[in-house]
Structure 1
Amino acid sequence: MNETQILQEPIAGEEAINMNGDIQFDNINFAYPARPDVLVLQNLTLTARAGETTALKYDTIVGERGAQLSGGEKQRVALARALVKQPVLLLLDEVTSALDNRSEKIVQEALNRACKGRTTIVIAHRLATIRNAHRIYVLDNGRVIEQGTHEALMSQEGSRYREMMKSQQREKIENNINETTSIAQTEDDDQNKILEHDRRRSSNGLDDEDKASSTTNRLPYTAFAVSGSKLIERICAKAFAHLLRQEVAFFDRLENSSGAICNRLSSDALAIQQMAGARLGIVCESIAMFLIGLVLGVLVSWQLTLIVLFYIVSLFVLAFMQICWQARLNKRSDCIMQLASSQLPQGYETRVGMKGSHLSGGEKQRIAIARALLRQPKVLLLDEATSAMDSFNEKIVQEALEKAQTDDPTRTTLIIAHRLSTIRSCDLICVLDNGYLVESGTHEDLMKQRGVYYHMVVCSNTS
């Protein structure tokens, strides 16, 4: 226990009372007397702050790949898993981008303690994360333009780091204890009924007809999947052998670096996999069924077959006309895609990898916003839409969102954000604290009230 006064010593079976101050647990091991070999707590280190409620919960349902966790919860879990491994080198990439002001402060204190005696590389847009670093490198388009400590860079007149620090303080992009939102989620009863019906059907099992159909379809799809895998293996082997026969000058080019070649091999294999395998089986099955049906129709009644064939050709022509018409309507959306890909290394031709694994957090967010605007939705939900962007890109995206709102005044936009600059221009701001609505109004009204929102803004300015 740290800085704690126990006014009454407890005996066995009683609880300690009248405890003042913080409580610190250091390397605590705990097991039930009936099961001494099963440790419930092992090497637990925890600090319980005075006046706060601390809960231990290991059985939280996080969903597939943490789908039920928020961005901040995912970051805290990932950071905890990294620190548990006691790494010699620690790489932190936007580790506090989705955290509010209080959580960021707690995580930053933990990082400051964990980084002692360990080499730590921090990549961040929120400059408060790197203020205590021994050396700060400022990058611009992949090049180092400034370096030094926080004090040294702030003392330089006209330095880029100093301008970014002042810009972030003016824009008030950090947040305090509360979350500022403008949405409350509701449940869809019809969808729940459908899901419940599917669960019951899956629990009862398939009937005999479904089992027979499943067994019949399994063989051809398995054969196509195996043949597709072997095809990909042969193509990758030949492509790799072809690369080994290249001259040395081929590998000296910038576009043929080791990383680019590995990315090219993996992306090409993925593209072939999408065309071959089970998907190719479905295409072949459809074509075969069409041709067999056409031949049988000609043998039975060629007059009726010609009539049906005429309607099939008409459907193909109408579908092609619909595609062309939609393409003309979507021409105005090219500017939005250009905004999303303008800062990518190769524009539209940039290799993004499996599920965008080669993109940074800011690039993923810009592409996601562009894809959302392309659909021209009537209701637009933005959840931490600019959390991984720097001040420059955040300003550009914010202007694009405001312009999109002006172009379509009927669109309803719901924004969930910790960065107050994201919601300053909203028609209605709702401030939530522990799930309860505490304030609502415009930015000017909330500032005049000098309530929770006002203190959040003041805290952002002083941080």
Structure 2
Amino acid sequence: MNDKEPLLTTYNKLPIDTDSDNENKSASDWRQYFSRQKTDTKNKNFDDEIKHTTEEIHVSLFQLFRFADCIDLVLIIIGLCFMLGSVVCALANVILFGRITGLFATTSFAVDCGNQYENSVFTIINNTVCPFGIDLNPLNYDRLHKLCHYDNKTILTTLAPLTPLFHENVMHLVYLFFGFSILTFLCTSLEYFCCTIAAKRQTSRMSVLLFRSLIQRVVTKQTEDQLTSYSKAGQIAQEVFSSLRTVLSFNGSKSQQKQYEKELKLNEWCTVRKDAAFGAFFGWLFFINFLVYSIGFTFGSILMSDGNHRTLTIGDILVVVNMFAQALGFLNGIGPFFQSIAEAQGAAVSVFRLIDEAHDENINETEILQENISDEKSISTINGDIQFDNVTFSYPSRENATALNNLKFIARANQTTALVGSSGCGKSTCVSLLLRYYEPSSGRIMIDGQSITHYKIKQLRQNTGVVSQEPILFGISIYENIRFGKMNATRAEIEQAAEQANAHNFIMKLPNKYETLVGERGIQLSGGEKQRIALARALVKQPTILLLDEATSALDNVSERIVQEALDRACKNRTTIVIAHRLTTIQNADYIYVLDKEGVIEEGTHETLMAKEGGKYQTMVKMQQAEKTIDTQDGLMNMAKVVAEDEEQILERIRLLSESEEIGKNQRALISTRKQFVFVRLLKMNSPEWMFIFIGCLVCLLGGLRGPMFSILFAKIINEFNDCKYNDIRYRVLITSGLLIVIGAVFMILRFFQFMTFGIAGAKLVSRIRSKAFACFLRQEVAYFDRPENSSGAICNQLSSNAAAIEDMAGTRLGVICESLSMSAFGFLLGLFYNWQLTLIIAIPFFIMLIAVVIDIRLSSWLKTQADLIYSQASTLAVEVITNMRTVKQLSMENEVLQQYSNMIDQILIVFWRPEALFAMVYGLYWTMSPLTLGLLYWRALILVEKNELDMSDVVMISAFGMFALEALKIVGMLGKRIGASFAAAHAFFDLFDRIPTIDNGSNKGQELTNFSGETEFNQVKFMYPTRPAVLVLNKLQLSIKSGQRIALVGMFK
């Protein structure tokens, strides 16, 4: 990979329909979802580049486990072993089902044919030779020939012991059913637990590796803002909410909302096409399943009528056919999970690409996270000069524009060197090159006569302190922010650094002192306070080199003097490079270089440069002196008073800074009273797609007939094998098998439309929820975002992960759930119609599974809520680190933030460890109930048959009804975790929708401004921030601004 290439290449894709005509398309215009995506001339190579990317990278099923460690592999192997055991149990259950069903069918066959043969004997009892019909095949001839040699009493005595023998055979198989059911429970439970824990461990490791790869990247302005939580829409969300005050001040909410919705629409057609493809695939599996039964029974009837296969029974046919059908049934049953695997493979492409790019040999940042780099020189102390020797440099994103052109200067050891010049002359670029964010195009940068490429990057940055114009603080305590400068610093060292930075006194007056939270990006502090804490963070590691990049340019004059006093002390006995816009701050520098586009144009001390008449430096100083409006002498005389008043007012202004976290917890988004069930509210939000939902529900209702219709035809085919004439058997089986094929084709079409309709409705719903949530966030008052739980990272995480969780329930999986419930209901109704006693036996395990499903859903919902809290913290850290990557690299804290992120992800495993054991038992229960119910069903059926209360032909039909009902509920249960997570996500969104902001930024209420002259008045205004209610910021402010006036507000920093 080329160093000059950005980390992520984005394509400005156009939405499907951006014209006004297309905006009026209704959801019923299904053609829009199958039209090709349009691109403009600027993106004419879009399809080719995407195709090239997808051809280069493809993630297979096994590659999803590429980051598994030894423990994961052991767990996976153990899980696979138990999986093989569960497969053996499943095959055994299929064999037992075929054998038992075959026993019932064979017994019915023997009784029916026995009665027919008995009547024949009564007719021909006196004949010495039995007359045979010409249509009898050899097998029938053989059976009838044997019967002709016995009288009717012999026949009756032969049929008499049939019932005890039948009872013994059936009970033997029923006991095996119970045994394999218990074994299935153990195998599936342990299999689920081992594989789930291994998957979660690897997922956590992938999250850490991805985060690590991001902080290893070379930092450029073009890529920092592009690393967002999800796609282009996620990037817009992160940019908007991290700069919300700017967006609101320019009334940019509506434009950003439209841009966000525009990006969301790009994903709808992809989702629908994907769901339609899955619908066609799983519909085809349905058809193949019916086709297997049809061909199997037809071919079996032919073999039975063949004299060469006289030992073939209906039980043998059932075993073979069920084996093939069960395999296809597993594929059909794992449909939703197969879709999840495909989605995971698609998502893994971009994740693996980022992780793999981090190991590119051209990226020198990777060595920071490695401890075994030994071919570079370690830094103990630096006592020599810093020299730029004919350095030329162009930024990778602007190769045609030269930032530095043969720059040459020397910063002497233990002296202060200043770089001044107009904007764009390359002053800040020198800092970036010295810290090795970039490599020069030509020339060398040397320290102590050695090129900086010979030093370890991490040690170079650890020995360099940086204070920039806009200091970046992280949303943690003051103590932790300072400690980031030196992770092993003692408390005494931290307090000493704060004293050197003039920060210790105001920190100690806070309620929680150094444990006070500063808010996201230090928003709770003023500019002067942030600058002093940033200086303390730079000084705590006692750097040999100190870089001051316009450290006071953003401060007012009073704040500047306080900070400048601390900087002057910090520069003593250090090699210091100062980049300054205010030239008054560098008058005491040992040496000054004046830069422009061509390099150094003037150099010398302040006095020598001022002595040059008409020189660049002299001109700049005179211009700034002319603009100065505050008397320096008066300011110096009042400095002691200013500092005293500042310390006193800081205590009042941020007394409750430390309570912001507690206030945030107590004043979270208002939890509304849910008068309606969440699912009902989701349906109401999905009401514009009512036609698709109606069609989908109708299709699901018809799809629910699949189980009962198959059961009826299945029992009918088995009963048709009871016919004594094999020509009739072949004919009837052929007719019924043809019906199976027709019904399979119908349900294949229904499955396609089911996935299609619910896919459209689900995609629209998710886009609508994201759009509404985005708008609701923009409506909240600014104080809402001051709370830690409402940081930009947490908001982006909610818009991405929670919406994706709802998509799991609102799309095609909802159709699968509806169809499964419909199938269960139809199965029970028909079962009650045929025999209520056997149906009640099925009802007992059915309701046990139903209770398990409810527990599964509720527990999953609770776990989703707990996990979201941790993911929100991790997302906040990730966004904060990535957007402030320069600060992270300046402080060489990559390993530290990586460890913090890793610890947060590890908490997910801790939260899920014990519940997963319960999930494993529930999972095993799902797979156990079917064979266990079959055992109970046949045991009870045997009793009823012996009492002549049940026809044997009904046993097969009712058992098939029950199995379809339990299998349908098992599918719902296996989706329980996703359903629970979806409900938790929906609750979070509805809490947001129901929250009433104290200041509604999107409200249209109020009087419109007409002929506004600009006259403004503050009349006895009192104000305190919601997160600091005890601090009075404005106390009876009285201010009147006349129309056309230009006023200035000045005062001491608070």
Same fold by TM-score greater than 0.5: no
Query: TM-score, normalised to structure 1's length?
Result: 0.33
Query: TM-score, normalised to structure 2's length?
Result: 0.16
Structure with the larger RCO, 1 or 2 (CA within 8 Å, 6+ apart) = 2
Instruction: Point out the structure with max Rg over C-alpha.
Output: 2
- The structure carrying a bigger strand percent of its residues is 1
